[in-house]
Structure 1
Amino acid sequence: MKLEFKKYLRFRSSIYGRVVFIITLLSVVFFLIFGTIFQIVYREYLNTSIYQRGNNVGSIVEGALYYSMLTNDKGSLQSTLDIINTISGIDEVNMYDHKDSLVYSSSFPDSTNSENPNCIQCHSDFNTMFSQKEKSYRILDAKSACIMNQTQKGHRQLLIKKPILNEQTCYTSACHGHQPTDEVLGSLIIKVPLTDLDEAIHESSINFYLLATVITILLVLSLILFTKSKIKKPLHSIIQASEAVSNGDRNTRIEIKPTLLDDMRLVSEAFNKMLDNLNAANTELENWSQQLEYKVQRKSEKLIEIQKELVHIERIASLGKLSSSVAHEINNPLSGVLTYTKLVYKLLEKMEVESASKDSMLKYLRIIESETKRCGDIVKSLLDFSRKDVENFENKPLHKILKEAYELMAHQLKISNIHFYNDFAAEKDMIHCRDNQIKQACIAILVNASEAVLENGEIMMKTLNPDDEHIRIEITDNGIGIDPEDLPHIFEPFYSAKQKVNGVGLGLAIVHGIIQNHKGRIEVESELGKKTTLSIILPLVKN
Structure 2
Amino acid sequence: MKSILRENGNNVGLLVERALYHSMLDNDQTSLLQILDLINTMSGIDNVSMYDSENNLVYTSINNNSTNQSNPDCIACHENFGQMFSEQQRSYRIIDRQSECIMNPEIGNIRHLMIKSPILNNPSCSTAACHAHNPNEKVLGSLLIKMPLAGLDKALQESTTEYFLFAALVTILLIVFLILFTNSQIKQPLNEIIKASEAVAHGDKDTRLQIKPNQLSDMRTVSYAFNEMLDNLQSANVELKNWSEQLEYKVRKKTEEVSQAHNELINIERIASLGKLSLSVAHEINNPLSGILVYAKLAQKQLAKPDLTPEKINSILKHLKFIESETRRCGDIVKGLLDFSRKDQEGFEARHLHEILSDTIELMLHPMKIANIHFISDLAARKDLISCSPNQIKQACMAILVNASEAVRENGEIIVRTLNPDEEHIRIEFTDNGLGIAEKDIPYIFEPFFSTKEKNNGIGLGLSIVHGIVQNHKGKIDVKSDRQIETTFGIVLPLHRE
TM-score range (shorter-chain normalised) is 0.3 to 0.5
TM-score of the two chains, using structure 2 as the length reference: 0.45
TM-score (norm 1): 0.41
